[in-house]
Chains A and B, each alone.
Chain A
Amino acid sequence: MSHPAATKIPVRQARTDILVLWAVLLAALTMPAGIAADPAIDRPGMRKFLDNYCIECHRGPKPKSGLDLTGLDIAEFPDRWREVALAISNRDMPPAKHRKQPPESERKATADGIVAVLRRMALADAGDPGVVPVRRLTKVELEHELDDLTGLDLPWTSELPDDASGGEGFTNAAEALQLSSAWIEKMMVIAIRAANSCECWPGTGLSFTANPMRDEDRTGRAMVALTRLDDLWTRLKLPGKVPGQAVRDEHSLQVWRDADLKPTPRSWPVRQPHPDPAELAQVGDDLRRQWDGLWSDLSCIAMTPRAEKNAMLATVLSKVPYQYGSDPVFEAALQAVAKGVRLQDLNLQEAGDRGVRSLGQGIRSLTVGSLVPLLDGVLPKESSAKGPWLDRFGQVDVLGVIQVPHAFAFAEFLAVYLDDQQIERVWTMVTDPGSRFNAKYQAQVTAEQRAAWDLLTKAQADRNEQHRIGLRLASVEFARRAWRQPLSDAQRTLIERQFEARMAGGETPETAARSMVIRILTSPRFIYRCEAARARTGPISPVELANRLAFLLWSSPPDAELLRAAERDELKQPEHLTGQVRRMVQDARIRRFSAEFFGQWLGFYQFDRHDRPDKDRYPEFTPELRQAMYDESLVFCTDLVVNDRPLADLLGSRHAFLSPRLATFYGLPASQIDSAWDAAKISANADLKAWFGGYSRYHLGDGPRGGVLGWGSILTRLSHPLRTSPVRRGNWILSEILGQPTPQPPNDVPELPKDEKNDAGLSQRDLLKRHRESPACATCHSRIDPLGIALEQFDAIGRWRTADANGNPINCTDTLLQGSTLAGVDGLRPYLLAAPQRSLFLTKLCRKLLGYALGRRVAISDDPLLERMHQIASQPDGTMTALIGLVVSSPQFLNHRGEEPMPKRVQP
């Protein structure tokens, strides 16, 4: 079998021939650039070795350990071959009891040869972006994106199933992100929820609020404004105000409503809504803008023709004969209205509560009651006399007359329940001399009033047109933001066309816009992070790159600044790219990276939900303590990234970020608080500053805490409900910190007692010792146990202890496989920080980071990049930011695998 120089190693060809390995070895040998001359690859020798010592067991339909070497294409399964090489060089294979044992030289030559072939393969394909299927948003990304899109912190995704993980063990691995029809349906419900929390006011586009109003009526808007005022009031901490009072205070709301249409300080006398300018000056431009915006919102609503028309109708209708009340103030008020005095100009405060009340009593039997029969043809079906509006505004009394509970409920009714067409029809009914209404009440409408109405109608039509166009544009803009990229003309036209089709189908502009919100959020363009296909492997577009960056660092879409940089095509300049990374790392959203990357890797992910420890044995493990432990890990990792701490701090840090509660639990006195540390100085970002400020930085001195080994979160998660688990802890150190594969346990494993208080009264350490007497267990446990036993001084909820539950003093000393002794966490920490272990740890970190960033399993073609990452990580000033910078400027990250076979050597 001969390979021309340009042929690359065949990928994913199913072959079962024993010749596969040899063929591939040959291929490697005939590669260009002097590989053939590589003395490390002794092809015939390797073949002979495998024939003599391996194939006998590892072939056929039932190979040992399921490993059939004859069918194992090295191009497809490089990791297995790496394991084979490791097994050979570690003398795990052939098994010690095997009759034939190879000489050391052959062993070495073969293992090195396999490694060399793998190395050649790695170089040949270096930088291959790999196959990364289009990724669905993870549940967490979806949550963040919806938070960011709407500005609402709602539990959007609580009904979605949790994601599973794949790749290097992260939920963002493309292959693990599955979709089901149930998932899509739930996404639809989420989208509908988002649409329902969407407000569409004239001039504001689409805006989301936690207390959305169903319709664009002034009362609703007033409620919204009041809620916002309330929020603002609370945030300003203005004196004498009870949060939430404004909205619930029916009286003040009523006064506001009655004063009608023009919000002025007088209109809300109870609240004195304009804060003192001196106070406002303190709260800064941001809040002041908000404040001004709020009032301009209110006046914008008040100025709409719709509101004016409602007022006009109310005025006209108030001329209808009524049953007089007996109250003189009420009489005077009504007469004033009849003379054309605007309702809001009546000094209702002067009239006093009594006046307001009686005003209500008088009118209630007048307007709605007499109108209901006449409105039958005007009202929508569902709001006939027994419809919902009635529930809200009044009740039918024994005579069948509507009792309206307060004065201007009717005006409110008009505003809330009638749309533009219906208001027109009420007007026609009122003004049409031949109508039943007029026959009964002879409403008089002057020519000026008619002219004014027509003007208002035209103004309203103009306004509606503007509103429609505004919402159509807003829908397109929403699509652009939700889909995380500029829209093509076709996409823009599609949204506009669909919006217009909705309106043509009878939807109001608001409903059409909300329909667009639903369809935009249910679209695959939202659900998936789409990248355009390419025939050849090559660079992704700047906007796609911005997306990759943002989802890597923020688990959410790019912000405006990043998108601008992408649109100006700046990201292809390395200094701009790393500049963006530096900027993004300083953003508060970097906490999402800490939670997702470090959380999933190190194991504190969702620890804030962890509920394993036994509640009776460990009553101290309260939700507050648990949260404090989770926060400790999250703050630590965030600080590591944001403030460029040395990577080895993860293992050996001499400080911790703790809440007072956790510090007490750890037994750290307040005297160890680092008073020089100032949260305000460690981050320029206000949110981060405030967040860090919630914790104190403690000096740990010679104490046992510091880095992951001392985290309550990890120590607890790696325990059983009633006891510590040196095996779990040791296994975690071995696999997650040192990245060493742990063979799976044999089928039949004896169990340890689940409670420290066991009948034998033995310590975990002694039980494990006994366990290790079995040779089958010893191979792995002699590697696992000493590491875990060193952490025995921490109990099952991470508390320092000197005796276990049986009263045995803690003996945390054990002998490592290499023969050295490891004593306690004080011995473990320097052991892990010593050169060989530190290097393994950094390798693991790099591999995890790369897998997380690429959303796939790390491949052999990533080896050269991993090596460079490792170099950077090993330097004293190696930081997360530097590693991230390297990853995001790698060909893997910058390119997309094309559909055609990969060309050799992808250049960034």
Chain B
Amino acid sequence: MTQRRLIPRRGFLRGAGALALALPWLESLASAVEPATDPHDVARNRRFVAFFLPNGVEAKDWWSKGDGAGMELSPTLQPLDPHRADLNVVAGLFNPNALTGEQHVCSAPIVLSGARAQKETIRAGVSIDQVIAAKAGMNREFPSLVLGIESAGLGLMHGWPLLYSGHVSWSDATTPIPRENNPRSLFDRLVGDPAVTRRAVSVLDLVQEDARSLAKELSAGDRTRMDQYLTQVREIEVRLGKASARSGADPVITKAMPKPPPERMDGTDEHVRLMIDLIAIALQSGKTNVVTMMFGNDLTAMDVAFAAKGDDPLLRNHHELSHKGGPLYQQTNHYFVSRFADLIGKLKSVQEGEHTLLDNSCLLFCSNLMQGGSHDRRQMPMLLAGKAGGGLRTGRSLNYLKHPDEQRQVCGLYLGLLRHFDINVESFGDSKVVLDGI
């Protein structure tokens, strides 16, 4: 058995003193990263980013009023104040399939799909990020990046697999996508190692031969899994093909930021910030058009002392903190909104032709619960930022609470967003009705 090496977190912080100081490297990002794409190719440049915040929010501090210059933001949303004009605060939406079943485990995995999670077998539905990835993502090295900051929980909760609360991104109803949690390994993938690339490319066709011959031996159900394997290998092939067109490791990214430390880092300030930086770089360098990021599993017991000031022991357990509610809980909401704001700021500072990278993007920030402690699923906190390539108006407070139920379903929002990515489907999830104003 292999002993896992435990890295004392404090040790890392000491060792990374220089790195911590260097965190504002992103300010220099714009100059360091050369435009990787044709700035006028708007369709190709559209990006989608989804953030998932676990365990809900302090509801009374989550609101907005008014539109445009007169828009007023609640305490939790204050970090977004400089970006009011690029923002839509969307209130009053809900996910009908989240109303039944275990409060956390059944509502989290469907936050981006609106499907119903099943108890007996692992099954939910394809999520909006993956629908977009299947179209807008395909002309990039990575159709999508699915990220997180902690491993999925193990075991069952009231009979429901905890896998659910750790996966919001699903490529189809039975395929939750494993997340990348390690900044270093994400960095390494983005940068690419030419030696590895060369060797990998050279065997890809060989293993595909295996997969095809194997598929003939397997049952119909298993052939689907083999098809998935083949699709993924082809995805890698395309990506590595693109990567090996460069002569060496991606110089753009290496120039933009230092290599993150190799240690496993579960849920720390540095961890979260590194992931945000990497997301910015991945989008800016044209490595990917679609990113999904979970700020923890729903029900997470993560120690969030890094996200609020105080030594209340409740901070040691995010989920329990959410049940207590109150100022500390609100502070953690504020922290994650601030990181969202960081990304907005970064994307806004990057010019792509006449527009900014933010204009070309649609950023979504959501949680499955409104007030975390009461598991309120009658509405969800949702934020949108960016103009999605120009079609989405911003600077608005949108409140759907008083609309009839079918006109305030979260999938109606998604259906509308899909249109901005030229995906004109009749329905998405449980909705056929595009939300007003989206």
Q: Which residues of chain A have a CB within 8 Å of any CB of chain B? A: 65-66, 76-77, 79, 131, 133-134, 143-144, 147, 153-156, 158-159, 161-169, 171, 173, 175-176, 178-186, 188-189, 192, 195, 490-491, 494, 498, 515, 518-519, 522-525, 527-528, 530, 532-534, 591-592, 595, 600, 603, 605, 608-609, 612, 614, 623, 720-723, 741-744, 747-749, 751, 754-755, 857, 898-899
Main secondary structure of the interface of A (DSSP, over half): loop
CA distance A180 to B316 in the complex (A): 32
Q: In whole Å, how far is A528's beta carbon from the nearest beta carbon of chain B? A: 7
Contact A899 B324 (CB under 8 A): no
**Chain B neighbourhood of A162, CB < 8 A:** 151-152
**Chain B neighbourhood of A754, CB < 8 A:** 312-314, 316-317, 320, 324
Contact A181 B232 (CB under 8 A): yes
Q: Which of B6, B143, B179, B199 contacts A161 (CB 8 A)?
A: B179
Contact A166 B122 (CB under 8 A): yes
Contact B316 A751 (CB under 8 A): no
**Chain A neighbourhood of B213, CB < 8 A:** 490-491, 494
Q: Does B158 contact A (CB under 8 A)?
A: yes
Contact A721 B316 (CB under 8 A): yes
**Chain B neighbourhood of A66, CB < 8 A:** 99-101
Contact B120 A600 (CB under 8 A): no
**Chain A neighbourhood of B217, CB < 8 A:** 530, 532-533
Contact A159 B182 (CB under 8 A): yes
CA distance A183 to B373 in the complex (A): 35
**Given A159-B182, A164-B154, A899-B219, A519–B313 Cβ distance below 8 Å?**
no
Contact B182 A133 (CB under 8 A): no
**Given A155-B5, A751-B373, A180–B218 Cβ distance below 8 Å?**
no
**Chain A neighbourhood of B74, CB < 8 A:** none
**Chain A neighbourhood of B323, CB < 8 A:** 749, 751
Contact B159 A721 (CB under 8 A): no
Contact A530 B214 (CB under 8 A): yes
CA distance A629 to B258 in the complex (A): 39
13 pairs, A vs B, C-beta closer than 8 Å? A133-B221, A134-B226, A155-B4, A169-B154, A169-B156, A176-B163, A180-B178, A530-B218, A533-B219, A741-B158, A748-B374, A754-B314, A754-B324
Contact A155 B2 (CB under 8 A): yes
Contact A612 B316 (CB under 8 A): yes
**Given A159-B185, A722-B313, A857-B120, A609–B4 Cβ distance below 8 Å?**
yes
**Given A515-B202, A519-B206, A134–B236 Cβ distance below 8 Å?**
no
CA distance A592 to B179 in the complex (A): 25
Q: Does B32 contact A (CB under 8 A)?
A: no
CA distance A743 to B211 in the complex (A): 44
**Chain B neighbourhood of A490, CB < 8 A:** 213
> Which of A153, A188, A595, A720 is most buried by chain B, counting CB atoms within 10 A of its CB?
A188
4 A-B pairs besides A147-B2, A163-B152, A173-B161 with CB distance below 8 A are A195-B199, A525-B210, A747-B375, A857-B120
* CB neighbors of A among B173-223 (8 A): 174-182, 185, 189, 196, 199-200, 202-203, 206-207, 209-211, 213-214, 217-222
> Which of B163, B189, B211 is most buried by chain A, counting CB atoms within 10 A of its CB?
B163
Contact B154 A518 (CB under 8 A): no
Q: Which of A154, A184, A518 contacts B2 (CB 8 A)?
A: A154
Contact B146 A185 (CB under 8 A): no
Contact A133 B225 (CB under 8 A): yes
Contact B203 A179 (CB under 8 A): no
Contact A533 B222 (CB under 8 A): yes
**Given A515-B199, A530-B217, A720-B317, A178–B175 Cβ distance below 8 Å?**
yes
Q: Does B308 contact A (CB under 8 A)?
A: no
* Interface residue tally for chain B (C-beta within 8 Å): 82
Contact A166 B235 (CB under 8 A): no
Contact A743 B158 (CB under 8 A): yes
Contact B228 A179 (CB under 8 A): yes
Contact B218 A532 (CB under 8 A): yes
Q: Does B136 contact A (CB under 8 A)?
A: no
Contact A522 B203 (CB under 8 A): yes
**Chain B neighbourhood of A155, CB < 8 A:** 2, 4-5
CA distance A181 to B207 in the complex (A): 14
Q: Does B432 contact A (CB under 8 A)?
A: no
Contact A524 B226 (CB under 8 A): yes
Query: Who on chain B is nearest to A859 by CB?
Result: B120
CA distance A147 to B312 in the complex (A): 44
**Chain B neighbourhood of A171, CB < 8 A:** 154
CA distance A147 to B1 in the complex (A): 8
Query: Who on chain A is nearest to B376 by CB?
Result: A747
Query: Who on chain B is nearest to A535 by CB?
Result: B219
Contact A524 B210 (CB under 8 A): yes
Q: Digit string of B313-353 for contact with A (CB within 8 Å is 1, else 0)? A: 11011001001100000000000000000000000000000
CA distance A532 to B376 in the complex (A): 47
Q: In whole Å, how far is B51's beta carbon from the nearest beta carbon of chain A? A: 19
Query: Who on chain A is nearest to B169 by CB?
Result: A180
**Chain B neighbourhood of A600, CB < 8 A:** 154-155
Contact B4 A608 (CB under 8 A): yes
**Chain B neighbourhood of A530, CB < 8 A:** 214, 217-218, 222
Contact B320 A133 (CB under 8 A): no
CA distance A161 to B151 in the complex (A): 7
**Chain B neighbourhood of A523, CB < 8 A:** 206-207, 210-211
**Given A749-B373, A755-B313, A164–B163 Cβ distance below 8 Å?**
yes
